[in-house]
Amino acid sequence: MTLYLDNAATTPVRPEVLEAMAPYLERYFGNPSSHHEVGEAAASALDDARARVARVLGMRAGDVMFTSGGTESNNAAIKGLVLGSGKTHLVTTAIEHESVLASADYLARLHGVEVTYAPVDSTGTLTPAALADSVRAETALVSIGYANNEVGTVQDAAALAAVAHEHGVPLHLDAVQAAGWLPLAGRGADAVTVAGHKIGAPKGTGILAVRGRLPFEPLLHGGGQERGRRAGTPDVAGAVGIARALELAEAERADDTARASLLRDAFVARVLAGVPGARLTGHPSQRLPGTASFVFPGINGETVLLELERRGIVSSSGSACAAGSDEASHVLLALGIAPDDARTAVRFTLPHRFTASLDAVADTVVEAVSAVGSRG
């Protein structure tokens, strides 16, 4: 039997989410912009989903728009807030998701926006002081990942928001990996990104919440849906599904976090004790409860992944968005890890509601690395 430990890449759709979505795929299938009974039923469901998401995020219902996922939400947040501001400077870091880095590059190439990559330390942590040194009078936006998708390092979002606001700059928080593991409300963010398929909703569902007072240039233009911030007929069933998934993740968060943290720590200790030279990447304690990422210097990481899968464990080398690339992870390089060592990375990410011991998994990791090393 295969054990799937690549939940940072995607998660299965929860039965409760499918159940919530079904009526809006079958019976209440109307276009929410249509002014008839069928359309109004869909519009009511969309409004309810928006309000439920807003409660979890600690924002207003009017701030919430539904998107196709984390990549669209990050693109829309960064391009929309920077271009809407009329300012010409963006602050982010070198360890962000590709959708953030590519959006920054787009703004630099085509709109003359200057991008500052605030420095992180060897654990992937951005300190408030480092952020303060990067912000200027012409800064339009600070865009930071709440929790890193590869190494799991968690940023002090509230402290970073305080720095940004002290300089009159809004903070965009990429919370794709954080949702369900970390508190989303009360962090001080002015814009928040969530992806449905990380929390048990279908792929192709996402959330971008942007405080209504902020000028925003839409990524998609057209019929004025989503209060003029995202044109196109909304996916009502998808909105209902991600709202339900987010509610469930938030309700279960405290229990999941406590349990996963204990399992993760025991797993990390066992792997580090059993594999000579193995290193945990990211912050040793300020990290996602369900994430353990390692480098195994001198060992081919992709070969380890294949060996683990042969032994019934599915994991990854890092971001699914960079899968298949021969390049060393940009995240690990930014942490100061040598390129050859970065190519040995292996990441294990737990599902929510996970309760089993990971001792046998850790032993299998030790055996798999040893087997690959003995062939090299």
pLDDT tens-digit series, residues 58-74: 999 999 999 999 999 99
pTM (2 d.p.): 0.95
Distance of CA 283 to the CA centre of its chain: 17
C-beta pairs of 129-132 under 8 Å, 24+ apart in sequence = 131/91, 131/160, 131/163, 131/164, 132/163, 132/166, 132/167
* Annotated active-site residue in 159, 321, 322, 371: 321
Annotated active-site residue 321? The verdict is: yes
Q: Copy the structure tokens of residue 136.
A: 């200027």
3-class SS at 330?
Answer: helix
Q: Stretch 257-274: mean pLDDT, rounded?
A: 97
Instruction: Tell me which residue has tokens 């994430």.
Output: 291
Domains and CATH numbers, the chain: 3-9+253-375 (3.90.1150.10), 15-249 (3.40.640.10)
User: What pLDDT does residue 292 have?
Assistant: 98
Could you tell me the pLDDT band of residue 240, with boundaries at 50, 70 and 90? very high
What SS3 class is residue 157? helix
Q: What does the alpha-carbon distance between residue 77 and residue 373 come to, in Å, rounded to a whole number?
A: 44
CB neighbours of 15 closer than 8 A, spacing ≥ 6?
none
Nearest in space to 65 (alpha carbons), one of 238, 252, 253, 181? 238
Report the pLDDT value the prediction gives residue 89, as an integer from 0 to 100. 98
Flag whether pLDDT at 361 surpasses 80. yes
323 pLDDT exceeds 80?
Answer: no
User: Residue 8: what residue type?
Assistant: A
Specify the higher pLDDT residue, 121 or 324: 121
Residue closest to 254 by CA, chosen among 307, 304, 181: 181
Q: Is the pLDDT of residue 5 over 60?
A: yes
* pLDDT over 80 (residue 43): yes
Please report the sign of the dihedral spanned by the C-alpha atoms of residue 95, residue 98, residue 99, residue 101.
Answer: positive
CA distance linking residue 272 with residue 337, whole number of Å: 17
Counting residues of the chain whose pLDDT is more than 70, the rounded percentage is 97
Q: Is the pLDDT of residue 1 over 80?
A: no
Contact 77, 193 (CB under 8 A): yes
Q: Which two tokens stand for residue 50?
A: 């928006």
> Residue 189: pLDDT above 60?
yes
pLDDT at 325 over 60: no
Q: How far apart are CA 195 and CA 264, in angstroms?
A: 23
What are the tokens at 329? 């992870």
Cα–Cα distance for residue pair 121/284, rounded to 1 Å: 13
Query: Could you give the angle at the alpha carbon of 245 between the alpha carbons of 244 and 250, nearest 5°?
Result: 100
SS3 of residue 141 by DSSP = strand
Q: What is the mean pLDDT of the chain?
A: 95
CB 247 within 8 A of CB 50: no
The Cα 187–Cα 268 span in angstroms is: 29
pLDDT at 188: 97
Q: Give the pLDDT confidence score for residue 373 in this predicted structure.
A: 86
**Is residue 28 within 8 Å of residue 216, measured between CB atoms?**
no
Longest dimension (CA), the chain: 69
From the list 281, 243, 231, 274, the residue with the least C-alpha distance to 95 is 281
Residues ≥6 apart with Cβ < 8 Å to 279: 272, 294, 295, 297, 341
Token pair listed for 230: 């995202």
pLDDT given at position 23: 96
Tens of pLDDT, residue by residue over 120-156, are 999 999 999 999 999 999 999 999 999 999 999 999 9
Spatial distance between the Cα atoms of 89 and 77, rounded to a whole number of angstroms? 15
